[in-house]
Amino acid sequence: MRRGIFLIAVMPLIVALLAMPVVQATAVSKVEASGESSSYRNVNLTWELASPAEDGDGFHIMFSESSFSHTGNATIHSTVFTASTDGMVQPAVGEWYDDCQSSSGDDDWAMVFRSENGSAVVPPGTVAIRCDLTGMPVGAEVFLAILPFDSHWISGELSEVVGATSTAVDELPPSADTRPVWFAIGSIALSLVVLLAVLGWKERSAQGRSAMLYVAPALMALALLTFYPVGYGIVLSFTDANQSALGEQSFNGLDNYVEVFTSAGFLRVLGFTLLWTVVNVFAHVGIGLALAMALQGRVKGKVAYRTILLLPWAIPSYITVLIWRGIFQYDGLFNGLLGTQIDILGLPVPAAAAVIVVNIWLGFPFMMMTISGALQTLPGDIYEAAEVDGVSPISQFRHLTLPMLKPAIVPVALLGFIWTFNMFNVIYLMTDGGPNLWFGEPGSTDILITYVYDVAFRRGMYGLAAAWSVVIFLILLWFSATYMKKTNATEAVV
Amino acid sequence: MSDLAIRWFAPLELRILSGMSFLSCALLSVVLLFDYFRGDYDSMSIHGVGLMALTVMILTAIDFTEEGRTRRRDMGLMASGITLGCGVIGLAIRGAEYLLVDLWAGLVLLIPGLSGLYLLSTPLVSRWVGSTIERVEAEDGLVRNRLLLPKWQAALKHVVLLHVVAVVMIPVLWIIDVAISPGDALQGGAMFSSPTGEHFSNILGGDNFWVWARNSVIVSIGTTLLGLCLAIPAGYAFSRYRFKGRGAMMFTFLLVQMFPGIIILVPYFMVMKSLGLLNTAIGLILAYSVTALPLCVWMLKGFFDTVPKELEEAALLDGCSQFGVFYRIILPLSLPAVAVTGLFSFLVAWNEFLLALTFNTSDDMFTLPVGLASYISATDSAWGDFAAMSLLVAIPVVLLFIVFQKFLIEGLTAGSVKG
Amino acid sequence: MSGVNFVDVSKTYEDGTEAVRGLELEVVSGEFLVLVGPSGCGKTTTLRMLAGLEEVSEGEIRIGGAKVNDLPPKARDIGMVFQSYALYPHKSVEQNLTFGMEMMKGEEALSSNEIESRVKEISNLLGIAELLEKRPRELSGGQRQRVALGRALIRRPKVLLMDEPLSNLDAKLRNQMRIELRRLHEEHGTTTVYVTHDQIEAMTLADRIAIMNDGELQQHATPDECYNNPANDFVKDFLCRHIDEIVTTANHIVSKR
Ligand SMILES: Nc1ncnc2c1ncn2[C@@H]1O[C@H](COP(=O)(O)OP(=O)(O)OP(=O)(O)O)[C@@H](O)[C@H]1O
Ligand SMILES: [Mg+2]
């Protein structure tokens, strides 16, 4: 948003500057990329400059999963600026997702500097830069190129486009110490056993004791594989755990949370998540209700209708989502049937509409079935009473059916809210959060959960991801609590 | 008194018309959206006019009070005419090269337009509008309304349902088409024109499918067995025993089910990584059986509740031990229920994507979902093979789901709604 | 004013059951008619046809002289008390009473003042003034019954229909309600059709009774007439002998004391 305003504000300036080219962007003479020697999901990129970089020069690293010839089809992975580096910090390897080094000749590689806002900066006179870029898909070729620009942000020639495939496998760092985990699991199990034993012992009857015995396995499983990870996750959120230093994390206080709330895309991704969830849940309930009403009573071919309408629920969602992706693809069925040529999944608003449509398609059968079940339990005689009272069918629906369905709809709507909030498959498989307008920030269709996945497993920042997860959980918890309170409160009034 | 029939009679044509126009309005909004997508602003304005005419039709047809009948009827007729005209012009604009959607869009306007013109000018409606209707006629009209209205309502209902069915079926038909068409072409212009089994033989002849299927089968069966071992005793205890903490424990099981998976994803991953359980079947089995556990416990509890307690007591009197009762009486009796619960855990494991994607990253440990997804990537997608494999994976699951839908849905809603 | 006529009315359900056959029955305006007969004889079916909840297969039903066969229930100006009461479970007693009137549109619509005064009147009449805020599930059987009656009466219908309204109550309450019903009828004089399978109820409440068996009308006369001049063996058996038995039993008990 701010970027947009900023861009509009500087647009006249840019146009004016374009009209009188003064400086030329430093040309790139050679680009090389390699995915072999690097670490998991990483690709190395090295480029040499035709002339030493001058103050104000900059280089966008352009990135795409398919080959490209102009910048419109690629996103900016990261940017390196040239400036005087006085007073800037020089971070260690592994601290940034785009570790870069620069050389001013003779292979004397040095880490890049970081400005206050985190931009990578190299000193003037640099002749070559190499970067270790993370977040690459494994096993698929990615395409990279350098787009130099000058001190007026005017782009130069796009360099040669090179491809590379990250082949490094995800190895367990040898340093990882499994003992603490075992210790934790062991102690939890032990304390549970003790707890159950005490409970069982305090229980006077033999019945109670055998009950404990029966429940124990399930309870232990739940404790070890749900509660323990949740607790561990909360602990992680206060550490700097990341993929390159597993098991060596140290506490960093609230840093992760600060980063979450100050990160550039936080409000945007939260906003889209809410839009996504609310639209979906309303559509699910609305369509489900309409169809349940339509299938109520005697309808010819009811069984056939029900079976067909159940399909979106019955077919595994990862399959249907991919099918829809094929339909919405540029050369897919949608454009084919309509005779249009829209790159639906490549444009922010259409892509958002598409993922929402697909999720509505996926989710309405569940609501339809639950509402159908609830309709069956409504007393039939009151409709006759209403008929005699002269209440029109629409009013019957509005004043009898709806309020009486409310107790059934309220909990499933909440369940639907939680499910939709966390609907990973649809977004990940349809757009993967894209189109990505800004690298390292959430894409335009990212919801919180897909973004957390990115942070954790593409950028490898487990601590940060855990903090995001906790924030998500708190949002859900807050919402559920208010929702329950609100709906109960209104129920007392009606 | 004797004009009761006249007072309460309104020709059913009006009801039909308002229903029809209402439906057409809804569909026309979609047409307008499509026009917008195509950048076809001429059609868009024509269809927009049609939409307005239809709105007028609804408003005029919805209630004819005593006074303005003639005026309303005339407005309705005019609106029908305009609607019809818009439909014709809309079709004409597309010319010879119209597509299926154009035809559909045309029908959305033509049908209510024509019906409006016809229905509003029938003799009965004319006489009714002119308030010159006889009592006998009104009485006959009431009978006719009673007999015909349900049929018309059913017809409209079927039109709505068929549209939904079309939206549901299009992806399904399309994927079948892609699976049996040569190459990876997507647009499916001529459906089912040149069927080929090449994709199926690719899939069945290659290794991937079998390896992934084996992984999925191992994981799903493991999950089912482990899940049942944990859930059956717990469900039984919740159903039969009253003990301290029972309510709290049952509530916990419900609550956990509402936990979003994401909060445990990252720590889960780290725990699994530390334990060396990434890229193994065991890691997934453990994770899945716990994911499905709460619902399974609730489902089983519900089923056990339906087994009469007297049976057990009789067996106890006969000298059976507590465990003997459970093993010999309860389990055999609730075998069908256990089977359904097992099926449920199986399906959970069979369809799960996120954990499988994060835990098992090497392609010989992929489960079917992750494997399938790997066919589709931004750079090159083997749509034909993907489609063929999708069908192979989905058909058994869908059949199981449909056959057992009643039980699965009952169990699911029992667990989720009884909050 | 608003008498009811059944002219050769028959009802055949879709599954072929002949529930009512050739019914000829006249309910005079202001009369309290009780429809009585053994279970399954077609009483409810008759009542539901009159209410417009069930189609008439053959014949004609007239209310106030006008044929109503194909009129919707709301056009017939009737009130109905269901056997199950059919109160709206999510609405308070007051809302149950007013719902029908609030939904009226156009020229029939009532002002809120009018609705309020009617609620006051009817709730005082039926003794449910203290219950107005409660929900149906918080009421006793007798209270529910009164609310159902109030809902039927409040619109001031021309004809009041009741389908075994007392069958869910205990004997004492039933007696008491019977007296009240009779009193109400005397006050309002609404044409009433009352269905029961209880002979005593029929005898005590009715101006005239109509005895049905197996879908056919057996006798239609005042209670005295039916008892003293039974039209056929069925009436003799169903009504006279039943009452005689009760009387004998009562005498027997009294003489033993
Ligand atoms: N919807 C229906 N479809 C088919 N048959 C029906 C239907 N409703 C009632 N019947 C049949 O019609 C006959 C008359 O039923 P009705 O309900 O009128 O009896 P009733 O006199 O009210 O009996 P009760 O005193 O038990 O209420 C019965 O044989 C019944 O089985
Ligand atoms: Mg009955």
Q: Give the domains, in start order, of chain A with CATH numbers.
A: 28-165 (2.60.40.10), 179-236 (no CATH), 256-492 (1.10.3720.10)
CA of B139 to the centre of ligand 2 (A): 29
| From C10, C12, C44, C55, mutation site for ligand 1 pocket: most ligand atoms within 8 A of C-beta | C44
Say how far apart CA A335 and CA A14 lie, in whole Å: 36
CA of C42 to the centre of ligand 1 (A): 6
Quick check: A66 contacting C, CB < 8 Å? no
C90 contacts A403? CB cut-off 8 A: yes
Q: How far is CA A251 from CA A89, A460, B166, in A?
A: 22, 17, 55
Q: If 0-12 CB within 10 Å is exposed, 13-18 middle and 19+ buried, where does residue B41 land?
A: exposed
Domain range list for chain C: 88-156
State whether the beta carbon of C43 lies less than 6 angstroms from ligand 1.
yes
Q: What one-character-per-residue DSSP string does B242-271 give?
A: --TTHHHHHHHHHHHHTS-THHHHHHHHHH
State whether the beta carbon of C17 lies less than 6 angstroms from ligand 1.
yes
Q: Which of B1, B2, B4 sits opposite C71 (nearest CB)?
A: B4
B145 contacts C75? CB cut-off 8 A: no
Identify the pLDDT of residue A118. Answer: 66
Q: Which residue of B has its CA nearest to A184?
A: B271
What are the chain C neighbours of B4 within 8 Å (beta carbons)? 66, 68, 71, 75
Q: How far is CA C137 from CA A326, C91, C167, in A?
A: 54, 10, 18
Do B247 and B103 lie in one domain? The reply is no
Residue B63: inside a domain: yes
What are the chain A neighbours of C51 within 8 Å (beta carbons)? 388
Say how far apart CA A77 and CA A142 lie, in whole Å: 12
Identify the pLDDT of residue A413. Answer: 87
Closest Cα in chain C, distance from residue B78 (Å): 27
Do B11 and B104 lie in one domain? The reply is yes
Do B308 and B221 lie in one domain? The reply is yes
CA of C215 to the centre of ligand 1 (A): 10
CA of C183 to the centre of ligand 2 (A): 24
Residues sharing a CB contact under 8 Å with residue C44, sequence separation 6 or more, in sequence order: C83, C163, C195
Alpha helices by DSSP H, listed for A203-299, are: 206-222, 228-236, 255-262, 266-294
Instruction: For residue B315, give both structure tokens.
Output: 């067996």
Identify the pLDDT of residue A95. Answer: 63
Q: Which of B252, B286, B378 sits opposite A66 (nearest CB)?
A: B378
Q: Which of B186, B293, B397 sits opposite A329 (nearest CB)?
A: B186
- Minimum CA distance residue for ligand 1 atom 7: C13
State whether the beta carbon of C54 lies less than 6 angstroms from ligand 1.
no
- What is the phi/psi pair of residue A34, to 5°? -150, 140
A386 contacts C87? CB cut-off 8 A: no
Residue B190: inside a domain: no
- Minimum CA distance residue for ligand 1 atom 20: C40
B1 contacts C67? CB cut-off 8 A: no
Question: Could you tell me if A378 and A404 are in contact, meaning their C-beta atoms sit under 8 angstroms apart?
Answer: yes
Identify the pLDDT of residue B191. Answer: 62
Identify the pLDDT of residue A14. Answer: 47
CA of C40 to the centre of ligand 2 (A): 7
Closest Cα in chain B, distance from residue C146 (Å): 31
Identify the pLDDT of residue C220. Answer: 92
Q: Which residues of C touch A (CB under 8 A)?
A: 51-53, 72-74, 78-80, 82, 84, 86-90, 99-100, 103-104, 151, 155
B260 contacts A323? CB cut-off 8 A: no
pLDDT band per the 50, 70, 90 thresholds, residue A38? low
| Residue recorded with tokens 């019977």 | C178
**pLDDT < 50: residue spans in chain B:** 1-2, 416-419
What are the chain C neighbours of B139 within 8 Å (beta carbons)? 67, 69-70
Chains B, C: CB contacts under 8 A, how many?
29
pTM for this model (two decimals) = 0.80
Q: Which residue of A has its CA nearest to C74?
A: A390
- pLDDT of A86 higher than 90: no
A476 contacts B273? CB cut-off 8 A: no
The pLDDT tens digits for A326-350 are 888 887 888 888 877 788 888 888 8
Q: Which of A218, A246, A294 sits opposite B230 (nearest CB)?
A: A218
The pLDDT tens digits for C175-210 are 888 888 888 888 888 899 999 988 888 988 899 999
CA of C40 to the centre of ligand 1 (A): 5
Residue B324: inside a domain: yes
Range of the domain at B318: 200-418
Residue B353: inside a domain: yes
Last residue of a domain, one of B164, B180, B214: B164
- Give the three-state DSSP class for A290: helix
Q: Find the angle CA(B39)-CA(A329)-CA(A438) to the nearest 5 degrees.
A: 90
Do B28 and B124 lie in one domain? The reply is yes
- pLDDT of C1 higher than 70: no
B65 contacts C69? CB cut-off 8 A: no
Quick check: A381 contacting C, CB < 8 Å? yes
Q: Which of A382, A384, A395 sits opposite C103 (nearest CB)?
A: A395
Look at residues B11, B17, B7 and name the one whose alpha carbon lies nearest to residue B123.
Answer: B11
Identify the pLDDT of residue A18. Answer: 43
Q: Which of A225, A318, A470 sits opposite B286 (nearest CB)?
A: A225
- pLDDT of A60 higher than 70: yes
Residue of C50, C74, C134, C147 to mutate, interface with A, max A Cβ within 10 Å: C74
- Minimum CA distance residue for ligand 1 atom 25: C39
What is the share, in percent, of chain A residues with pLDDT greater than 90? 13
Query: What is the mean pLDDT of the segment spanning A2-25?
Result: 50
Tell me the average pLDDT of chain A: 79
Query: What is the mean pLDDT of the segment spanning C40-45?
Result: 91
The pLDDT tens digits for A427-448 are 988 888 877 766 667 888 888 8
For residue B144, give the H/E element and its range. helix B135-180
pLDDT band per the 50, 70, 90 thresholds, residue A10? low
| From C23, C45, C197, mutation site for ligand 1 pocket: most ligand atoms within 8 A of C-beta | C45
A141 contacts B379? CB cut-off 8 A: yes
The pLDDT tens digits for A184-198 are 667 667 777 777 666
What are the chain C neighbours of A385 within 8 Å (beta carbons)? 80, 82, 86-88, 151
Do B109 and B204 lie in one domain? The reply is no
Say how far apart CA B354 and CA A423 lie, in whole Å: 10
The pLDDT tens digits for A371-411 are 988 888 888 889 999 988 888 888 999 999 999 998 888 88
A387 contacts C53? CB cut-off 8 A: yes
Look at residues C170, C128, C175, C179 and name the one whose alpha carbon lies nearest to residue C150.
Answer: C128
Question: Could you tell me if A319 and B372 are in contact, meaning their C-beta atoms sit under 8 angstroms apart?
Answer: yes
Question: Count of domains in chain B?
Answer: 2
Closest Cα in chain B, distance from residue A49 (Å): 30
Residues sharing a CB contact under 8 Å with residue A20, sequence separation 6 or more, in sequence order: none
The pLDDT tens digits for A159-183 are 888 888 877 665 544 445 555 666 6
Residue B195: inside a domain: no
Q: How far is CA A238 from CA A235, A250, A262, B139, B230, in A?
A: 6, 8, 16, 80, 34
The pLDDT tens digits for A198-256 are 666 665 666 677 777 788 888 888 888 888 888 888 888 888 877 766 566 778 878 88
Say how far apart CA A405 and CA A394 lie, in whole Å: 15
Say how far apart CA C182 and CA A69 lie, in whole Å: 95
Look at residues B21, B63, B47, B10 and name the one whose alpha carbon lies nearest to residue B156.
Answer: B21
Do B131 and B271 lie in one domain? The reply is no
What are the chain B neighbours of C70 within 8 Å (beta carbons)? 5, 139, 142-143, 145-146
Q: Which of A382, A384, A404 sits opposite C53 (nearest CB)?
A: A384
Q: Which chains touch A (3 or more CB pairs under 8 A)?
A: B, C
What are the chain A neighbours of C86 within 8 Å (beta carbons)? 379, 381-382, 384-385
SS3 content of chain C, % helix, strand, coil (to 5): 45, 25, 30
Residue B188: inside a domain: no
What are the chain A neighbours of B270 within 8 Å (beta carbons)? 232, 236, 241, 246, 462
Residue B177: inside a domain: no
Alpha helices by DSSP H, listed for A295-347, are: 302-314, 317-328, 333-338
Instruction: List strands edge to edge, sheet with C58-63.
Output: C18-27, C4-12, C58-63, C66-67
Do B74 and B216 lie in one domain? The reply is no
Identify the pLDDT of residue C13. Answer: 92
Do B149 and B216 lie in one domain? The reply is no
What are the chain A neighbours of B292 within 8 Å (beta carbons)? none
Do B132 and B18 lie in one domain? The reply is yes
Q: Which residue of C has its CA nearest to A381?
A: C86
| Residue recorded with tokens 């480029």 | A47
C78 contacts A390? CB cut-off 8 A: no
